[in-house]
């Protein structure tokens, strides 16, 4: 198959009635050759004739944006443009958001799509999707439908070509979405739609009509159980599964007792068959990716956290007015702001005031669920480590914790089991307790629950997974909810000495 130009394919006729092959480029069109317009419809028509034809995006698109697509991103975009309903199972960190954006933009240029609705977790609406949209298709109008019900509705009724909304916001604004001209729906971290009994799933099902393009994206489609594939298949490939979930469960699971089931020997093959059409790239297949990827996830503060954060910041401004602030005092003050952001702050009396860490934990769990391998979570504060350990245990996620309070012998045993055994899946670590000398390459995802103020500790902690023996490319996920966290992460990523600039950073925050 060869491209003649940006508009046509040169095809060779084996007989006057049937095109059989796409032949190499020629200077002239011969008597047994024909030029065919190269669009999405023509590509499908040729494929229906068993002619291997690439997506027209490969020759008719200029791939706009601030950076060039990787080969696997081009392949993903080509696949999506040719499938009205499809799965993208590319691993976390492979750039699937940008690939989907390029594919959607091309379909808009082809007049196949007018408006795109992106459904995703709150934590990545701005930091991942809007950021990628602004850097990839800056010529498109983009908005986020978040806030009050009326605000969401106004944005959905507006003229933005790409609208980003969180899962639960879809139900709130269902009527506006249904009448908003959205003919492509992209669902990121789509495992949130695995249960057909939820309001979330039923709402999306009502919105997807015969004319709707639907792309479901997740790196872990059936991570917990083969049953998880059912809800996803019902949305994209409904004819591949039975009408009722119970019948699908009988297809993939064997009942051992009243409450115990196990996957059937052919469960993996069945799940693969029903979750089609699909494309998947792992980080290891993407040879052009950097070895360490960095990404941010924003977590809104709870009202209680926001109240205490603002109160503390106001008091710091009053204390700093007309007085000389030392670097030590500045570091203590910023540490308090970080503690509030992370979920627990030490009072002047030595007690611990705990906040609701549910929103931040929900984002962490999203990352864990999307990760194919084990996960390291670095938490700078001991009080938050205890809260987090309880949350993980309540969700049935096997986890161990390491802090300065854990004896050396026990630490060694935990590290050994993390490296060599199936469990624990998650290791929650105070970064100072494991920043040097420890190999934890069983994980390829690092989550920073909150930033550290030490560049050395930050770099060394990330190096626990990114070192000799690591077979996978690694991802570092930074959770943030406050200005002080955003500024610290920015300085760490730019490899600036935070300790050396602590006073300047303090003054910037108060200003």
Helix, coil or strand: residue 353: strand
Strand partners, 278: 87
State the fold for domain 292-298+354-510. Answer: Rossmann fold (3.40.50)
Describe the crossing of helices 245-252 and 229-236 by its angle, rounded to 10 degrees.
120
- Pairing state of beta strands 33-37 and 115-120? unpaired
What are the respective helix, strand and coil percentages of the chain, to the nearest 5?
45, 20, 40
Asked if 393 contacts 399 with a C-beta cutoff of 8 angstroms, the reply is: yes
Give the chain's end-to-end CA distance (angstroms, integer).
61
Q: What is the pLDDT along the chain (511 residues), one digit of tens a residue?
A: 333 344 556 555 544 444 444 444 444 666 666 666 778 888 888 888 787 788 889 887 999 999 889 899 999 999 999 999 999 999 877 889 999 999 999 999 999 999 999 999 888 888 789 989 999 999 999 999 998 889 999 999 999 999 999 999 999 999 999 999 999 999 998 989 999 999 999 999 999 999 999 999 998 887 778 999 999 999 999 999 999 999 999 999 998 887 888 999 999 999 999 999 999 998 778 766 667 888 999 998 999 999 988 888 888 776 666 566 666 777 888 888 899 999 988 776 667 788 999 999 999 998 998 888 999 999 998 888 988 988 998 999 999 999 888 887 888 899 889 999 999 999 999 998 875 668 899 999 999 999 998 888 888 888 888 877 788 888 999 999 999 999 999 988 888 777 777 777 777 777 7
Tell me if domain 70-279 and domain 292-298+354-510 are identical in fold. Answer: yes
Two tokens at 490?
Answer: 């920015």
Please tell me the pTM assigned to this model: 0.73
Per-residue three-class SS string for 105-131: HHHHHCCCCCEEEEEECHHHHHHHHHH
Residues 272, 220: Cα–Cα separation, whole Å: 12
CA distances from 494 to 335, 486, 488, 489 (A): 20, 12, 10, 8
The structural domains of the chain, with segments of one domain joined by +, span 8-54, 70-279, 292-298+354-510
Helix and strand numbers (H, E) in the chain are 20, 20
Asked if 216 contacts 224 with a C-beta cutoff of 8 angstroms, the reply is: no
**Res 287: pLDDT:** 63
Describe the crossing of helices 455-462 and 483-493 by its angle, rounded to 10 degrees.
70
Asked if 498 contacts 491 with a C-beta cutoff of 8 angstroms, the reply is: yes
DSSP state of 499: G
Residue 37 C-alpha from the chain's centroid: 37
H or E, element range at 266 = none
**Res 10: pLDDT:** 57
Does the 70-279 domain belong in CATH 3.40.50.10810? yes
The pair phi, psi for residue 337, each rounded to 5°, is -65, -40
């Amino acid at each position: 198959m060869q491209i003649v130009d940006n508009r046509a394919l040169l095809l060779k006729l084996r007989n006057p009635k049937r095109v059989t092959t796409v032949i190499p480029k020629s200077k002239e069109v011969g008597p047994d050759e024909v030029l065919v317009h190269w669009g999405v419809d023509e590509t499908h028509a040729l494929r229906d004739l068993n002619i291997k034809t690439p997506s027209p995006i490969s020759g008719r698109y200029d791939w706009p944006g601030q950076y060039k697509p990787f080969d696997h991103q081009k392949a993903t975009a080509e696949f999506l443009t040719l499938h009205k309903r499809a799965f993208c199972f590319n691993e976390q960190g492979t750039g699937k958001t940008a690939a989907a954006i390029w594919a959607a933009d091309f379909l808009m240029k082809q007049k196949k799509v007018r408006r795109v609705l992106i459904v995703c977790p709150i934590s990545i609406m701005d930091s991942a999707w809007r950021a990628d949209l602004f850097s990839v298709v800056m010529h498109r109008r983009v908005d986020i439908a978040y806030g009050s019900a009326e605000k969401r509705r106004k944005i959905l009724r507006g003229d933005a070509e790409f609208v980003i909304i969180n899962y639960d916001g879809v139900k709130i604004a269902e009527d506006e979405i249904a009448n908003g001209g959205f003919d492509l729906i992209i669902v990121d971290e789509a495992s949130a739609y695995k249960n057909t009994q939820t309001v979330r799933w039923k709402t999306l099902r009502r919105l997807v009509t015969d004319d709707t393009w639907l792309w479901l994206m997740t790196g872990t489609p059936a991570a917990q159980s083969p049953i998880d594939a059912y809800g996803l298949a019902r949305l994209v490939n409904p004819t591949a599964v039975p009408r009722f979930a119970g019948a699908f469960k009988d297809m993939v699971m064997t009942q051992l007792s009243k409450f115990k089931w196990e996957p059937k020997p052919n469960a993996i093959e069945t799940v693969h068959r029903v979750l089609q059409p699909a494309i998947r790239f792992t980080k290891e297949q993407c040879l052009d990716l950097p070895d360490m990827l960095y990404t941010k996830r924003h977590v809104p503060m709870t009202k209680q956290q926001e109240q205490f954060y603002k109160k503390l910041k106001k008091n710091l401004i009053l204390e700093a007015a007309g007085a000389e602030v030392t670097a030590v005092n500045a570091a203590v003050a910023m540490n308090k702001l970080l503690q509030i952001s992370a979920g627990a702050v030490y009072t002047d009396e030595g007690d611990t005031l705990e906040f609701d860490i549910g929103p931040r934990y929900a984002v962490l769990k999203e990352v864990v669920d999307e990760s194919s391998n084990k996960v390291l979570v670095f938490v700078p504060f001991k009080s938050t480590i205890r809260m987090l350990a309880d949350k993980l245990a309540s969700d049935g996620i096997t986890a161990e914790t390491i802090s300065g309070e854990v004896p050396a012998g026990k630490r060694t045993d935990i590290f050994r089991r993390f490296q060599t055994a199936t469990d624990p899946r998650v290791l929650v670590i105070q970064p100072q307790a494991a920043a040097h000398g420890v190999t934890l390459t069983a994980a390829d995802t690092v989550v920073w629950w909150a930033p550290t103020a030490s560049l050395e500790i930050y770099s060394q902690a990330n190096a626990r997974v990114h070192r000799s023996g690591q077979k996978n490319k690694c991802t570092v996920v930074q959770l943030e909810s406050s200005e002080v966290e955003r500024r610290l992460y920015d300085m760490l990523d730019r490899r600036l000495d935070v300790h050396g600039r602590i006073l300047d950073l303090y003054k910037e925050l108060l200003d």
